[in-house]
Structures are given as structure tokens and as C-alpha cells.
Amino acid sequence: MLGVHIIGPNAGEMIAEAALALEYGASAEDVARVCHPHPTLSEAFREANLAAYFGKSINGI
């Protein structure tokens, strides 16, 4: 990851995970492999990383 932009309602709930990933140099695979609670907004961050690393997300259309 080079940077993260999150815009919208409840963005503050997801930006903390992104900041942590950037601080520790986590890859998209690292974030995708971490267990995220369901249903939560943080799950969307995992889905984005799944799509970036594997080319598809679990819940993608």
C-alpha cells in the first residue's frame, strides 16, 4: 500500500486499520489474511485488499 483515501460516513472507523497497515508496511495480502469481524465496516477494507491481491473479493459483484 502506498496510501489510503476513505471518504464517506463512518470513514473514521476504517481509517485506523489503514493507518496501522501503512505504519507497519503491510501488504494487501497481509490485510486480506487478517480475520475481520462480520458484519462490520472494517470488512470492506479487507474486501478491497482481497480484490487487490487475489483479483477478486469474497462478496464482490
Write out the three cell numbers for 45: 477494507
Write out the three cell numbers for 30: 497481509
From the candidates 38, 55, 56, 61, give the one annotated as an active-site residue. 38
CA dist., res. 61 & res. 56, Å (int) = 9
5 noted as active-site residue: no
The residues assigned a catalytic role are 38
